[in-house]
Structure 1
Amino acid sequence: MSNHGSHSDEERAEPVWHHAQEWLEEDDDLDMDYQPALEGSDEDEGWEEDAEPEDEAPVLGISEENPRIEIGNIQIELTADDPVVGADNGWPTRIPAARLFELLASSGLQNILDAHGLTANQFEADSEVYSEEEDSDDNGSYMDTMRHRLLGRQRGRKDKFPKVPSDEGIELMGEGQFGTDPYFVDRLKKRKDVFAKNLMWRELGVDSYGVRRRADRALAQQMIPGSTADKIIHFDSRSYSGQFSDDGNFFFCCAQDFKVRMYDTSNPHEWKYYKTVDYPFGQWTITDATLSPDNRHLVYSSIRSQAYLATTDPEDDSDPTVLDFGLSPGQRRRRSWGSSHFGIWSLRYSGDGREVVAGTSENTVIVYDLETKQPVLNIRDRHHDHVNAVCFGDTSSPHILYSGSDDTTLRVWDRRSMGDGREAGVFMGHTEGLTYVDSKGDGRYVLSNGKDQTMKLWDLRKMMTTAKFETVDPSDYTTAFDYRFHPYPHDYYEPHEHDCSVVTFRGHRVLRTLIRCHFSPPGSTNSRYVYTGSEDGKVYVYNMDATLAGTIDVGKATLNSRPREPDVFATEYEMSGDMLWRTCVRDASWHPNAPVLAATSWNGWGLASGTCTVHSWNDGADNDEGEPPIGKSYDDKLRFVPSFNNYQENAPPVRSRRPLRSRPVPRLVVDEYEDEPW
């Protein structure tokens, strides 16, 4: 979850600050009130529409004679304990704006500059001047190297993005691996193009068994849930992840208040509150949770080396069991709360329910045996940055593992042949760190989300061999982009020389947090789609050919769904003059048996709270005559909240402003709310 990709050995020798480091110190030094660096708002981004031309971009001339910056009514004065060093000693007396901007950005003060139209891109000319002034013997910083690399990328070719629709994706759809293509006669005569016609042809029953079965599958795969929310479940802290069980009877949601809430979803349209479990002495948030295949146990983690195992039985209120991932294989568990020298970012149960695999901030992959309560595998010294995501490759076997890291690689591990401790193969193609990986469960296909704003589909048969990977340096293709604070300019992206992915999906935004992606289930969607959350408040659903099948606009569905509360200002995630309603969809889960999707989001005024919204297929209808009424707000125990609903009904209109959004993929469904603010 760190900000940079992998570096060379020389560059890794110098420590790089990361916001999680404060959480990973000894317990005595922890500041539990720590908040992340403040971020800019959508309102702040609006200045780009009226920005000055590049040739008139402001340049901050800082010198010994003028150590002050004046931006409107903001003044920044530079002072130092030691006298200014002269140019004769090898240091320039003039500090360039780009270097100053980097210092401000690291502390969160870059939002002040953003609000006044001063961004890193506008300081490119000043950066070039500074590079000429630097001494040739100076090694320079990592940021300098990355900046020059980006300047070179901006002069690259224009056709650098993968072709859409993808030829490989079209081939996969035709093979039946991912959904069913319409019969050519149906396309020619334009029949069966809507749900009602599909239903009529199925009810006629004139097809043979094979064709009829194909028609049934095609019927299911058309039911993409809509933006209108059946329910809006509110939490007083940000929601980080939420998933249905494999059979669809259970749903859990993790929040930043160190609680995991569980719901009975055996009726996917009418949820029931089930149980809540806590993480004692957690750090920052609950990072992930995973449910056992039999739905009886839940394992959940925080930014600590311990996870907890809790029963899902609502009648069982016993304390959770400690799972210490910090032990060495064969070491007995310590009688303590354990250390926080590393954190767990990702957890997954094995298909047989006997093991849990974890990805950590210590750049390791750990497999934990639940029967012996000990780690049985600890993969070290292969990844060169945080392991943000892990999963098992096959639901029927625990041998194949996948791990995605901030070193930009997705690695494949075969536990049956790890005598040398190396991976079985590597997937390369992302140019920034990975935020999530998901396996189709067939031991062949895997999906990943990356900070380069792409989602990629991989085929195990096309992975790079370990021998070839040893000749490649992944850091040659990455930048210093910080996904937490800034949009990702198209100029940052450059095609990876060794990209071995099958299909690349673009259009969503992987910003602010580790946003997750998934394969759509075979039962309710015929495995037709892949889908992902997005920082712009939507769930993006893609066909396998990389075209956009549809979006679920969580931001529009939840706008003004709770009143402004005084304590929100104490936990505000952004710094701006207005407290705006913001939505960032971090996770989404498609019900395995019904056309229902649950989206878990940072959602509310200043992104200070969270929601879990339930969306179902409704054939485009905005209203539902059934009971209970749709789009209403509930608390975490599914109790109706009249004050929230009254506020939403009487909320003032939203100020009109065209949001800045890119649409790099063709849309198969026109969204009439595409340019409407929320």
Structure 2
Amino acid sequence: MSSPGSDETRNEPGEAPMWHPAREWLEDDEGDEDEDDLDYTVPSTTMETEDDWEEDDAGDERMGLGISDGETRVLGLVISARTKRLIENTFITRKPPYHHRQYPIRTDTRRSRRECGSWGRRAPANFKLYIRDFASDLLPVPAAQLFELLASSGLQHILRSNGWSTNIVGDDGDDESDDEFDAPFTRRARPRRTGGAEHFPKVPSDKGTELMGGGQFGTNPYFVDRLKKRKGVFATNLMWRELGIDSYGLRRRAGQSLSQQLIPGSVADKIIHYDSRSYSGQFSDDGNFFFACAQDFKVRMYDTSNPYEWKYYKTVDYPFGQWTITDATLSPDNRFLVYSSIRSQAYLATTDPEDDSDPSVLDFSLPPGQRQRRSLGSSHFGIWSLRFSGDGREVVAGTSENSVVVYDIETKQPVLNLQYRHQDHVNAVCYGDTSSPHLLYSGSDDTTLRVWDRRSMADGREAGAFMGHTEGLTYVDSKGDGRYIISNGKDQTMKLWDLRKMMTTADFDRIDPSDYTTGFDYRFEPYPDEYYEPHKHDCSVVTFRGHRVLKTLIRCHFSPPGSTNSRYVYTGSEDGKVYVYNMDATLAGTIDVGSATMNSRPREPDVFASAYEMSGEMLWRTCVRDASWHPNAPVLAATSWNGWGLSSGTCTVHSWNNGAKDDEGDPPIGKSYDDKLRYVPEFNHYREHAPPPRRRPLRSRPVRRRFIDEDETW
């Protein structure tokens, strides 16, 4: 290990150098020195006994670090007095998300080490914090890169607890992440809860089982078949459906239960590749149309009137967008598409492939009643979510200004702006009833789901609210009946809500939603089971668990009534799968998009520049952000971040095939296509000759863990 005060590089005996992302930074910054840069030096010697802690102090002196007993060093950095005071006042409030201590606290005496080593106590003034997974060399790292490293290494709580922003911004200073828009995270991280598996909701859910038997979410087998333990097979149900035209009773139930058993399989019919990450994709209400949004600010449209043989339709783009296209919505008559970016203007484009006219601008930042300005000016906020009303006349949007805006398409002006109720970004909005534009839902990072009734909003307040998520909401979807709604949350749960059980405004105003959240950053941090704790005021009907809502704003949906008999709810997941749940919270099936697309395109030279994560190896990774079930056929389209290091995107088409691994039909299944559905020979050739896939490591970075004896007291 080298130091600022020595000209030599010394390593402890038996110590092996370890990789760290900072090495890549140094390749670009080598030779550049700045007076404000911090010296990065971390000892990586594994300490097994208390004597090792004391011997390491002497090692510091031998290496000539020149650090006095009164100075504090964090990550091997000699820090300023102000930063030292900030760290000394920091409460270490939670256990790391692993069985062994990842961040041991080091002190100068055995007594003080035992006293302050317990998580949740204040560290003494002379404590030193070491991280075990860093390189042993002395590496000069600029301050900006160091804080970026901290924000991506699971140490955001150190920064956030002292008011530092953990926003990672591009080199040009203008790029934002997909869920942050000029809003650095400044609230203090709250102590981690001590929940666990014993606090999880019961599975199967009693309320969910009751709903499944009520007929609103699919049909159950006939009770005689259940009593006599007779199991219906596909051929039997098919025969009853063919013979049961205009039938009643048992035959009708058999016909209804036929479609709800057809869950699409993991084998992909088609793999549509995009050169940037894909953010959302949805079928139209009639199933004849599909659109996919990507980070290259383009929306691709496809003709899916034959759900098994798609045709390329048209592409529209968002000029001067920021970071990505966040959402898009299709009018009920399939004639118009509205799409947004992290800006306050959305675009309205026609779906007619013969119409090459420029899209119209919809400025959501205008005050209600004011017409479009000639000059758009600067963007005031970002739009996260968009939805067309059932009559196609209005579009509702959720924004980074903590507001819900309703825009009239005909007059081209906002008609409603709901502000000052949500305390954080509104990530998702939807209409509650497909036949009426009056009922609105909005889900926010403040952990609440608000209900708005436009017929009674003289005071600008919501009609009620739902509470139960302990972290922010990423998406909401309505069943369309004005009663049931589901939401996905960063607490790794999906919840079903009943409008009749919402919390009144009077009760809700007495509760502070921020008291039940921890400031967990789902973009970089994991969410272990011990973090979960049930909400004190949970008014949800059913809670679904098993999927992972990490990295991005992952979406969830009700299954359609035509192809599934409204039997399921389903969601994407960070682990590369689509999870399909029964209404009683049991898992009906999974669609493994990651396995279906593994090594489906070669690694390109610039993959490191577009990779989402810093890791030692660019492995094939899949994160399913959105999924859409065809309304009339057992076909599901999954839109994903997919590729080497999550650097590209795919839209995969999955259909029900009764578990068959091969298909004798034409064209062959599992082949790769470009964004215009043109066959890509080099992609398919690479996959046929690619080496066996490597298993993803449990951690994205190598870590030396210090194993602790059970008898040792911390």
TM-score range, shorter chain: 0.7 to 0.9
Aligned to 2:367: 328
Distance in 2 (alpha carbons) for counterparts of 1:408 and 1:236: 34
Task: Report the CA distance between 1:94 and its aligned residue.
Answer: 5.9
> Taking structure 1 as reference, are residues 92 and 589 closer, same or farther at Cα in structure 2, changes over 3 Å only?
closer
Question: Contact 2:279/2:641 (CA < 8 Å) preserved in 1?
Answer: yes
Q: CA deviation at 1:193?
A: 3.6
In the alignment, structure 1 residue 304 sits paired with structure 2 residue 343: yes
Counterpart-to-counterpart distance in 2, 1:209 and 1:409: 43
Residue 332 of structure 2 is aligned to residue 293 of structure 1: yes
The Cα offsets for residues 420-443 of structure 1, whole Å up to 9 and x where unpaired, read as 110000000000000000000000
**Is the counterpart of residue 561 in structure 1 residue 600 in structure 2?**
yes
- Residue 77 in 1 paired to residue 77 in 2? yes
Measure the CA separation in 2 of the matches of 1:261 and 1:345.
19
Superimposed CA distance per residue, residues 394-420 of structure 1 (whole angstroms, 9 cap, x where no aligned partner): 000000000000000000000000011
From 533, 537, 555, the equivalent of 1:516 is 555
Summarize the alignment of residues 108-507 of structure 1 with structure 2, pairs less than 5 Å apart: 119=102, 125=117, 128-130=120-122, 141=162, 149-150=191-192, 153-154=193-194, 156=195, 159-203=198-242, 205=244, 209-507=248-546
Spell out, residue by residue over 1:468-518, the C-alpha distance to the aligned partner (whole angstroms, 9 max, x if none): 001111111110210000111222211111100000000000000000000
Distance in 2 of aligned mates of 1:650 and 1:350: 49
Question: Who is 1:42 aligned against?
Answer: none
CA change 1:440–1:86 in 2 (3 A) is closer
1:611 aligns with 2:650: yes
Deviation at 1:625, TM superposition (A): 0.5
**Letter matched to residue 77 of structure 1:** L
- 8 A contact 2:468–2:537 mirrored in 1: yes
Q: Secondary structure at the match of 1:566?
A: coil
Query: Per the alignment, do residues 568 and 427 of structure 1 end up closer, same or farther by CA in structure 2, a change over 3 Å counting?
Result: same
Distance 1:189 1:572 in 2: 56
Query: How far apart in 2 are the matches of 1:86 and 1:458?
Result: 46
Per the TM alignment, residue 188 of structure 1 is displaced from its structure 2 partner at its CA by 3.4
For 2:522 and 2:49, locate their aligned partners in 1 and report how far apart those are by CA, in whole Å. 24
1:97 and 1:126 in contact (8 A); partners too: no
> 1:253: how far off?
0.2
Q: Is the 8 A contact 1:92 1:133 kept in 2?
A: no
Aligned equivalents of 2:373 and 2:234: distance in 1?
59
Equivalent-residue separation in structure 2 for 1:411 and 1:57 (angstroms): 55
Contact 2:88 2:125 in 1 (8 A): no
Contact persistence 2:86–2:162 (CA under 8 A):
no
SS at match of 2:606: helix
Question: Can you list the C-alpha shifts for 1:449-485, whole angstroms capped at 9, x where unaligned?
Answer: 0000000000000000000001111111110210000
1:306 Cα offset (Å): 0.1
Distance in structure 2 (CA, Å) of the matches to 1:233 and 1:121: 46
The corresponding residue for 2:681 is 642
Separation in structure 2 between the aligned mates of residue 642 and residue 266 of structure 1, nearest angstrom: 26
| Secondary structure class of the residue paired with 2:539 | coil
- Larger C-alpha radius of gyration, 1 or 2? 2
- Contact 1:436–1:449 (CA under 8 A) maintained in structure 2: yes
Mark the CA change 1:334 to 1:133 in structure 2 (over 3 Å): closer, same or farther. Answer: same
SS of the residue 2:547 aligns to: coil
The answer to whether the 8 Å contact 1:572/1:607 transfers is: yes
Three-state SS of the structure 2 residue aligned to 1:573 is coil
The one-letter code of the counterpart of 1:490 is: D
Cα drift, residue 568 of structure 1: 1.2
Maintained 8 Å contact 2:475/2:555: yes
| Structure 1 residues 461 and 607, CA gap change in structure 2 (3 angstroms) | same
1:656 to partner: Cα distance: 4.6
Root-mean-square deviation (CA, aligned residues, Å) is: 3.3
Q: Which residue identity is paired with 2:120? A: E
User: Do residues 544 (structure 1) and 586 (structure 2) align?
Assistant: no
Q: Name the CA shift for 1:125/1:181 in 2 (closer, same or farther; >3 Å).
A: farther
- Partner SS, residue 209 of structure 2: helix
How many aligned residue pairs are there? 580
- Alpha carbons 1:427, 1:501 under 8 Å: kept: yes
The CA deviation at 1:338 is 3.4
Q: How much has 1:56 moved relative to structure 2?
A: 13
Distance 1:422 1:86, change over 3 A: closer
Out of 428-437 and 564-573, give the one that drifted further: 564-573
Q: Which range moved further: 374-383 or 194-203? A: 194-203
The 2-side partners of 1:92 and 1:315 are apart by: 62
Matched residues in 1 for 2:495 and 2:104: separation? 28
C-alpha distance in 1 between matches for 2:508 and 2:52: 43
Offset of 1:339 from its aligned partner? 1.9
How far off is 1:570 after superposition? 1.1
Q: Matched residues in 2 for 1:302 and 1:86: separation?
A: 37
Asked if the contact 1:363/1:386 (under 8 Å) is kept, the reply is: yes
Contact kept, 8 Å, 2:91 with 2:121, in 1: the verdict is no
Supply the distance in 2 between the matched residues of 1:194 and 1:64 (Cα, whole angstroms): 77
Which amino acid is the alignment partner of residue 191 of structure 2?
A: R
Tell me the secondary structure at the aligned position of residue 249 of structure 2: helix
Residue by residue over 1:180-224, the C-alpha shift from the partner in whole angstroms, topping out at 9 and shown as x without a partner, is: 001122223443443233224445659952322211110000000
Letter aligned with residue 78 of structure 2:
L
Distance, in Å, in 1 between the alignment partners of 2:414 and 2:189 is 41
Q: Under a length normalisation based on structure 2, what TM-score does the superposition of the two structures give?
A: 0.76
Matches within 5 A, 1:19-98: 65=69, 76-80=76-80, 84=81, 91=85
Question: Which structure 2 segments of 5+ residues have no match?
Answer: 1-45, 61-66, 107-115, 127-159, 165-185, 700-714
